[in-house]
Amino acid sequence: MADQQKTERYKARQQKVKESIDAKVDAAQIEKGLFLIITGNGKGKSTSGFGTIARAVGHGQRCGVGQFIKGTWDCGERNLLEQHGVNFAVMATGFTWETQNKEADTQAAQSTWVECKKMLADEQYDVVLLDEMTYMVNYGYIELTEVIEAINNRPASQSVIITGRAAHRELIELADTVSEVRNVKHAFENGIKARKGVDW
Ligand code: ATP
Ligand code: MG
């Protein structure tokens, strides 16, 4: 095929792609805060949630983070984002399989949830991340109906991100965007330690 012909074909193909994308962009006219879920067994859920918070902070938006399960160790994202005005509500009891005390875990989850509900009801917050929230619902520490109610009643312009494995079906139904991170392989399976700056 002559070079000239190749160039023409390429141009025509790209023009079609452009038209198709432009049509989709034009069709998306709804403006509202989003509810996103990042779930699945692979690494990258919290990273993605915090990446979105960093993105919003970069635009001068007001953000909040509720951190469930974790909290006893140094958290790089918290160290950075608190300096940029991000409000953190942290469940500081460590991992549930470490405490092995359902009542104490439920209480810790509930007091963090109270703080999160305040953020979800406050229109000053543009983006709220509920990190590892899926477990709280699955373990029964926080009522699914309460979570759904708080998300449904949040200010129209506010976006919410929930991360964690095994997101409840009803949360998935309610969400606007759901991504599943699949585990292909993880360093931990080969005995490699979790690494500061990469894993926390
Ligand atoms: P990250 O915070 O790195 O984005 P994550 O939020 O997707 O990870 P979590 O289930 O919250 O995953 O696990 C947090 C910690 O467990 C991180 O240190 C992460 O590297 C590690 N981890 C995540 N996925 C796996 C996996 N499939 N196998 C072993 N460890 C994992
Ligand atoms: Mg996580």
Segment 32-44 mean pLDDT: 97
Output the pLDDT for position 25. 87
Output the pLDDT for position 172. 98
Output the pLDDT for position 96. 59
Segment 33-46 mean pLDDT: 98
pLDDT digits (tens, 9 = 90+) for 57-70: 999 999 999 999 76
**What average pLDDT is seen over the chain?**
92
- The closest-lying atom of ligand 1 relative to the alpha carbon of residue 132 is 11
Question: φ and ψ at 79, to 5 degrees?
Answer: -55, -40
Is 46's C-beta closer than 6 angstroms to any atom of ligand 1?
yes
Output the pLDDT for position 70. 61
Percent of the chain with pLDDT over 90: 75
Output the pLDDT for position 99. 66
Cβ atoms of 67 and 143 closer than 8 Å: no
- The closest-lying atom of ligand 1 relative to the alpha carbon of residue 44 is 4
Q: Which of the four pLDDT bands, split at 50, 70 and 90, describes residue 28?
A: confident
Is 194's C-beta closer than 6 angstroms to any atom of ligand 1?
yes
Is 47's C-beta closer than 6 angstroms to any atom of ligand 1?
yes
Q: Which residue has the tokens 């990190």?
A: 131
In sequence order, which residues have a C-beta less than 8 Å from that of residue 67 and are 6 or more positions away? 75, 78, 88, 89, 90, 91, 112, 131, 132
- The closest-lying atom of ligand 1 relative to the alpha carbon of residue 187 is 29
Segment 169-177 mean pLDDT: 98
- Distance from the CA of 138 to the center of ligand 1, in angstroms? 18
Output the pLDDT for position 24. 86
Query: Looking at per-residue confidence, does 69 or 52 come out higher?
Result: 52
- Distance from the CA of 42 to the center of ligand 1, in angstroms? 7
> In 10 A of CB 96, how many CB atoms?
21
- The closest-lying atom of ligand 1 relative to the alpha carbon of residue 165 is 10
C-alpha–C-alpha distance, residues 150 and 44, integer Å = 26
pLDDT digits (tens, 9 = 90+) for 117-154: 999 999 999 999 999 999 999 999 999 999 999 999 99
Query: Looking at per-residue confidence, does 60 or 107 come out higher?
Result: 60
Q: Examine the pLDDT at 97 and tell me if it is beyond 80.
A: no
Is 180's C-beta closer than 6 angstroms to any atom of ligand 1?
no
Q: Examine the pLDDT at 46 and tell me if it is beyond 90.
A: yes
Q: Which of 187, 167, 185, 186 is nearest to 177 (CA)?
A: 167
